[in-house]
């Protein structure tokens, strides 16, 4: 090969590259499409390709189908409406001809005018009996004499009716011309229907015009023909004469009820008149119809009467099949798209889904989801990779489960410790209080019984001594000066009067102390720790006795008014000691809520009477409450300071309290909640409005059936 050198330096130069061919105009869009496709995933390419193919096939089939359906619908409507219009025109023409044939035959009878009047009247009556359409029939001579007349539906005499209905000048003109005459449609006020006048010349035996056979036809039969025409639910038809007067038309049900029959009316719509009367080369026209909407109309003439039968169908009714076809096409297209999407999903599942599953699983494990597994049935490299991945996940899951189990054990132990702490605190508190109450009751009971039992004897002894002293004074002479001075110092009369009162006060005090001890014993129920039926109202009253010091007023503190409304039966099966503990906690909280309103010197609270209401009632069984058992509702309501929503939602939480430090433990309502719900299977709820008061609702089953029996939470008080 020869090498080319530059003469100046002798250095070999590479050959120059050939010039790039010019890029065609379609290269830029192709490059854009290639870059777009390169950014799509395999799944997107499969799905979008199949969807585009289905959409293209659907459009290629659906658009021609919609066009053909539209054209076919128009052709069908045109053929149907033209046939209906022609059939209706023939029926109307046939019925009108049937009414005129007897009149024509009668007018051709030779020497009809020479017939006797009775015979003529019988002939006319026979025609009227054959058809109700003959409103009036008469035979009138040229000079105006009425040879015979029949008017079966007119209240006036036949002669008067004929002279009112038929103009004599017109009759003479018809007789002179010797040709039949058919008048325009007119409205008959008496029959409330359109009528038509027919005049036929009658010749004498010399074949000269001598009279006229005139008849007024009632066109009410057109209503029947209109009603018999089957034009669908949206179409309608009507008949117009040469003067643009609507002779008859089909009525909708609401129009038939209001109008009752056919009434005449002129068409005053220029577009409609042009569409009806203009020369046309098509039998189906599009215009604004009689009822004001766009219609497709078919017109057929009645040649004998110079009438037109018009059938109009709204465009919305004509286009309804087209809309149905479009809906069908869209349905088919949607089905095709759905099938394409399903094929795309299936294809992506078979080809791309395993790779995506492995990618997502690896990402999930990297984020800490060790339960993620991948199952691939294919026996190829993907299946082997999935098996190894699953084995790795199993080992990680085992380690994670071990750690999770240890963590769960620690959480369970912590919860048990918290519950144990709660129970120990309350048990210690209630145990100490129970021992204190039991000790006080025991220590007070014996001395007070001794005092109460001996008060009657002491009273009797003192009375005997006073009686003996009185007898001594009465039967002894002058006493010594020392004795008289001692008796004067003792004020024996005052002692004799005041001592019974002192003894009475001591007796009442001992009774009160004894009642207090009885209430303490009844409240604590030390000998009734099992589940049994107790008097609910007695427990409430005993609790109020124990809280008497807090309820009564002292100094500037007003007393609390107690309102009782006991409507429930007293016998309730429960744990008495625990239920008394619930009542004590609820009543004590209600009293604490009323304290700000008991001081008359507290300007921060409005003046009101502190009131505590206790309501009990029996409620019927409800499926969603207490396993469908009959329950008793205890309602404790106060008009104290109330609570906001945040506080109300936390009042049953352990260790939550609104009292100052040192005045509450936060366990009273929490334990009350556990006693009602766990020990008795009941419900406890609260409703409170700040500044208006609080109401607690305790609902427990009346019998022990289906009640849970949890372990004892506290020592019975």
- CA 58 to CA 196: how far, in whole Å? 60
**Whether residue 636 has pLDDT greater than 90:** yes
Instruction: Report, as an integer, the average pLDDT of 448-472.
Output: 74
- Which of 155-169, 423-437, 700-714 reaches the highest mean pLDDT? 155-169
Q: Which residue has the higher pLDDT, 316 or 520?
A: 316
* pLDDT tens-digit readout, 122-134: 888 888 888 888 8
Token pair for 30: 């192709």
Given this model, what pLDDT does residue 696 score? 94
Given this model, what pLDDT does residue 715 score? 31
Q: How confident is residue 22, by pLDDT bands cut at 50, 70 and 90? A: low
Given this model, what pLDDT does residue 616 score? 93
- CA 486 to CA 488: how far, in whole Å? 5
Given this model, what pLDDT does residue 459 score? 76
- CA 637 to CA 563: how far, in whole Å? 10
Instruction: Report, as an integer, the average pLDDT of 353-376.
Output: 70
Given this model, what pLDDT does residue 712 score? 40
- CA 310 to CA 180: how far, in whole Å? 27
- CA 223 to CA 249: how far, in whole Å? 7
Token pair for 488: 């004067």
Of the candidate ranges 41-50, 263-272, 312-321, 507-516, the one whose mean pLDDT is the lowest: 41-50
Given this model, what pLDDT does residue 31 score? 65
Q: List the strands of the sheet with 631-638, edge to edge.
A: 561-566, 611-619, 631-638, 693-701, 683-689
Of the candidate ranges 37-51, 414-428, 555-569, the one whose mean pLDDT is the lowest: 37-51
- CA 268 to CA 637: how far, in whole Å? 81
Q: List the strands of the sheet with 134-141, edge to edge.
A: 146-150, 134-141, 209-218, 193-203, 181-188
Burial class of 674 by CB neighbour count within 10 A (0 to 12, 13 to 18, 19+): buried
Superfamily of domain covering 108-219: PAS domain (3.30.450.20)
Given this model, what pLDDT does residue 714 score? 36
Question: Per-residue DSSP letters for 298-315?
Answer: EEEEETTTTEEEEEEEEH
**Whether residue 635 has pLDDT greater than 90:** yes
Q: How confident is residue 613, by pLDDT bands cut at 50, 70 and 90? A: very high
* pLDDT tens-digit readout, 580-598: 888 888 998 888 888 888 8
Q: Hey, how many other C-beta atoms are within 10 angstroms of the C-beta on 282?
A: 8
Given this model, what pLDDT does residue 434 score? 57
Task: Confirm if 455 and 507 have CB atoms less than 8 A apart.
Answer: yes
* pLDDT tens-digit readout, 30-77: 666 666 655 556 566 666 666 677 677 767 776 777 777 777 777 777
- The answer for residues whose C-beta is within 8 angstroms of residue 259's C-beta and 6 or more apart is 251
- CA 504 to CA 497: how far, in whole Å? 12
Per-chain mean pLDDT for the chain: 75
Q: pLDDT over 70 for what percent of the chain? A: 70
Q: Among the CATH numbers 3.30.565.10, 2.60.120.10, 3.40.50.970, 3.40.50.2300, which is that of 532-717?
A: 3.30.565.10
Q: How confident is residue 698, by pLDDT bands cut at 50, 70 and 90? A: very high
Task: Confirm if 353 and 375 have CB atoms less than 8 A apart.
Answer: no
Task: Confirm if 69 and 322 have CB atoms less than 8 A apart.
Answer: yes
* pLDDT tens-digit readout, 209-236: 888 888 888 887 787 777 776 676 777 8
pTM over the 0.75 mark: no
Given this model, what pLDDT does residue 687 score? 93
Given this model, what pLDDT does residue 615 score? 94
**Whether residue 154 has pLDDT greater than 70:** yes
Given this model, what pLDDT does residue 710 score? 44
Ranges of each domain in the chain: 108-219, 532-717
Q: How confident is residue 566, by pLDDT bands cut at 50, 70 and 90? A: very high
């Amino acid at each position: 090969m020869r090498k080319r050198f530059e003469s100046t330096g002798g250095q070999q130069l590479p050959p120059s590259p050939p010039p790039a061919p010019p890029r065609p105009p379609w290269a830029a869009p192709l490059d854009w499409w290639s870059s777009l496709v390169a950014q799509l995933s395999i799944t997107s390419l499969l799905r979008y390709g199949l969807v585009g193919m289905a959409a293209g096939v659907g459009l290629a089939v659906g658009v021609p189908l919609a066009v053909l359906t539209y054209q076919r619908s128009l052709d069908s409507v045109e053929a149907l409406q033209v046939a209906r219009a022609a059939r209706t025109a023939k029926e109307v023409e046939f019925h009108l001809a049937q009414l005129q044939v007897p009149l024509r035959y009668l007018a051709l009878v030779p020497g009809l005018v020479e017939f006797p009047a009775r015979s003529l009247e019988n002939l006319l009556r026979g025609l009227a009996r054959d058809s109700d359409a003959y409103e009036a029939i008469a035979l009138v001579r040229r000079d105006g004499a009425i040879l015979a007349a029949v008017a079966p539906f007119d209240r006036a005499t036949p002669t008067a009716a004929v002279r009112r209905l038929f103009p004599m000048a017109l009759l003479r003109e018809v007789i002179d011309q010797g040709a039949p005459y058919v008048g325009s449609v007119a409205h008959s006020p008496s029959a409330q229907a359109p009528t038509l006048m027919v005049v036929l010349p009658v010749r004498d035996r010399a074949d000269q015009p001598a009279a006229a056979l005139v008849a007024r036809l009632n066109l009410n039969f057109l209503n029947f023909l209109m009603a018999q025409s089957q034009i669908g639910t949206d179409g309608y038809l009507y008949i117009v004469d040469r003067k643009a007067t609507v002779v008859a038309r089909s009525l909708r049900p609401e129009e038939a009820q209001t109008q009752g029959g056919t009434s005449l009316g002129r068409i005053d719509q220029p577009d409609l008149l042009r569409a009806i009367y203009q020369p046309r080369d098509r039998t189906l026209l599009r215009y604004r119809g009689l009822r004001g909407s766009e219609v497709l109309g078919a017109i057929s003439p009645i040649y004998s009467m110079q009438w037109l039968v018009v059938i109009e169908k709204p465009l919305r009714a004509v286009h309804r099949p087209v809309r149905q076809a479009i809906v069908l096409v869209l349905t088919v297209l949607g089905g095709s798209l759905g099938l394409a999407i399903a094929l795309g999903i299936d294809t992506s599942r078979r080809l791309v889904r395993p790779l995506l599953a492995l990618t997502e699983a690896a990402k999930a494990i990297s984020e800490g989801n060790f339960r993620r597994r991948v199952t691939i049935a294919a026996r190829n490299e993907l299946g082997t990779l999935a098996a190894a991945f699953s084995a790795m996940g199993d080992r990680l899951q085992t380690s994670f489960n071990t750690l999770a189990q240890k963590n769960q054990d620690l959480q369970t132990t912590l919860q048990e410790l918290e519950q144990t702490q709660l129970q120990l605190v309350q048990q210690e508190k209630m145990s100490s209080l129970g021992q204190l109450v039991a000790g006080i009751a025991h220590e007070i009971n014996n001395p007070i019984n001794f005092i109460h039992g001996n008060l009657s004897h002491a009273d009797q002894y003192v009375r005997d001594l006073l009686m003996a002293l009185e007898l001594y004074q009465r039967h002894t002479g002058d006493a010594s000066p020392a004795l008289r001075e001692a008796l004067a110092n003792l004020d024996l009369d005052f002692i004799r009067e005041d001592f019974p009162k002192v003894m009475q006060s001591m007796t009442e005090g001992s009774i009160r102390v004894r009642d207090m001890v009885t209430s303490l014993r009844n409240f604590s129920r030390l000998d009734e720790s099992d589940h049994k039926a107790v008097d609910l109202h007695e427990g409430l009253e005993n609790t109020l006795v124990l809280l008497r010091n807090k309820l009564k007023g002292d100094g500037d503190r007003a007393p609390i008014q107690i309102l009782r409304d006991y409507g429930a039966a007293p016998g309730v099966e429960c744990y008495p000691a625990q239920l008394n503990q619930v009542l004590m906690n609820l009543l004590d909280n209600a009293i604490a809520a009323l304290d700000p309103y008991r001081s008359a010197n507290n300007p921060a609270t409005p003046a009101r009477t502190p009131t505590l209401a206790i309501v009990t009632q029996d409620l019927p069984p409800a499926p969603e409450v207490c396993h469908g058992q009959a329950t008793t509702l205890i309602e404790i309501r106060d008009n104290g300071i109330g609570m906001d929503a945040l506080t109300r939602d936390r009042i049953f939480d352990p260790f939550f309290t609104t009292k100052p430090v040192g005045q509450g433990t936060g366990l009273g309502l929490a334990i009350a909640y556990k006693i009602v719900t766990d020990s008795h299977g009941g419900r406890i709820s609260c409703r409170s409005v700040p500044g208006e008061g609080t109401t607690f609702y305790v609902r427990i089953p009346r019998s022990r059936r289906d009640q849970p029996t949890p372990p004892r939470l506290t020592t019975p008080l």
